[in-house]
Structure 1
């Protein structure tokens, strides 16, 4: 049997050789894998028995020395939901960071069962990220009792999408890796008899609904179109006499947001001119007439309207205005 110092030397030499060999070529290393028992305590192993929890810190320090640029991860299964094992992992990571151990990230294997994606997955990822480490879903598969049915595959699609969205919702979640490309090479049937169909592709390499669930979850979110302020204008002659007329002009909000000001324009015949107006500022230059809101009637809610009026003088004929238009101030 080795002494603790001999065993520590064997471990750190191995890490130095492997990580050093690929220095600068590997982005992330799973430095220590599955260190915890289901109750969140240290899993019995040769390393834990001889060195205690210190072997984890030694492994990370050796990996950092061998490749200072690589990201170093601690990885385990059944830690996706808040519970005894994930609490144990959380406490372990907190202790390691307090000791200055270079833990860059925590991996959550996510070997899940159909319909059982933890409701607190996002919250759990976030609490680890709040410690100051990256998080990642590292071995995702979602198994079901065979045979697969349309209903089960639809649920699996929902489950895969839920995992992707949980990662996307946490800023420091760096990615999701599926464990097995297709159902033909999944490890699940060998370890869970009667279960399988756990990956996004079937045994014939065809994408399953789960694949489309992933794609839909990854699709960019598009912002809704901005609310528009638009208006329409109507012009009605209310009264005429031999030298003049009275008109009413109505501005209606035809958009989806309130108007914050409005402007109406039209053209008169040469023999027509405005003599007086109310509820609007009305000006006339040659045949062109412009009317703008006053302060009290500038705002018009969607579907609402405001009206103003004017007196005009005419000679000869009194035709309706032309080129009638409305623009908004918002």
Structure 2
């Protein structure tokens, strides 16, 4: 008995050490590794918001500390009729974020795409103004103090930096941009307000984004940040152009967020760039080269690409507020159906079985070495 008592303290230390090691192993995650640098987010589908898959839900809790809704907060879903709002899923989305102590991002208030059919029929400027005021004020006021940041205006620019001829521009002129930001700020003065777009790391569109934000601010609108969607490719855009964009936007006093990060590994029809959801192309075997699995050589390229991107993000972590992946795992990615339906893409850090890919470890390893 004395012998056992003698070794009890050592046994306790061993058990405690084992528990701590297990605890440490369990808490190794993207969100913990990048804690103090920037939020690591993901976009949630309706099923994920409804917590239909226990394994997916567990992965989301473990790896991410910021969330964006993929679709359910877009106009066609949240405001289906002129006198009707449907907040069923957006309420669940916000509750999900609160329950899991996550940063909650609202996407999106004013966007030319995924409008409800009744919105597309608006031709009169007075009616459009009334719609914008009601839509923005109602939604932002409802989630005042619960949603941490909003994409106020999404994709208002063409790739050459000129204003997109959307239903909003056609009915109201470019004043709609400043009006949208003013309305959002009035509804919730403390929430961060973003302008969000794709390809706005490219020189012409970057310049257009800077001009847009300067004009909005000159007209009295509040803009806190710019969202770079980051629907990128294995070879482009260059790290240099991404860095120039971080520096240029930050120089305006803007927070920089990478809002919809994914990296396509598939051929790009007609060298298509960006994320215009209205473009579609018929498929071919040539355009879907990896229907069953991604070759190791491409896995390695994807890992190297993600590592170079996150190395840059860490270099400028003082300027970056959030990095959000557009989806939790490859099976969920919109890139499986865009711009060609039925392809198999592999753009994220987790595969269809929710297993971390080589790209995941390349991003994690950056935090294992001294910055």
Deviations 1:28-49 (CA, angstroms, capped at 9, x unpaired): 1011011111211111111010
Change in Cα spacing, 1:48 to 1:220, as seen in structure 2 (3 Å) is: farther
Among 147, 153, 158, which residue is 2:304 paired with?
A: 158
What is the CA-CA distance between 1:160 and the residue it aligns to? 1.4
Tell me, in whole angstroms, the C-alpha distance in 2 between the residues paired with 1:3 and 1:192: 33
Greater fraction helix:
2
Q: Which has the higher contact order (CA 8 A, sep 6+)?
A: 2
What is the CA-CA distance between 1:99 and the residue it aligns to? 2.9
Among 225, 229, 232, which residue is 1:109 paired with?
A: 229
What is the CA-CA distance between 1:138 and the residue it aligns to? 0.3
Runs of at least 5 residues in structure 2 that lack an aligned partner in the other structure: 1-121, 267-288
Aligned residues of 2:178 and 2:217 also touching (Cα < 8 A): no
Tell me, in whole angstroms, the C-alpha distance in 2 between the residues paired with 1:52 and 1:73: 20
TM-score (norm 1): 0.64
Count, aligned residues: 221
What is the CA-CA distance between 1:192 and the residue it aligns to? 3.4
Higher Rg? 1
TM-score (norm 2): 0.57
Deviations 1:126-168 (CA, angstroms, capped at 9, x unpaired): 1111011111100000011242211111111121122222222
Tell me, in whole angstroms, the C-alpha distance in 1 between the residues paired with 2:148 and 2:366: 25
Other-structure match for 2:192: 71
Q: Within 5 A, what are the aligned runs for 1:2-17?
A: 2-17=123-138
Other-structure match for 2:178: 57
Other-structure match for 2:333: 186
Aligned residues of 2:147 and 2:191 also touching (Cα < 8 A): yes
What is the CA-CA distance between 1:181 and the residue it aligns to? 0.8
What is the CA-CA distance between 1:219 and the residue it aligns to? 4.2
Greater fraction strand:
1
Matched position secondary structure for 1:153: helix
RMSD: 1.6
Aligned residues of 1:142 and 1:199 also touching (Cα < 8 A): yes
Matched position secondary structure for 1:79: coil
Aligned residues of 1:136 and 1:167 also touching (Cα < 8 A): no
What is the CA-CA distance between 1:76 and the residue it aligns to? 0.3
Other-structure match for 1:304: none
Deviations 1:46-85 (CA, angstroms, capped at 9, x unpaired): 101011111111111100111111100000001123x211
What is the CA-CA distance between 1:8 and the residue it aligns to? 1.0
Matched position secondary structure for 1:74: strand
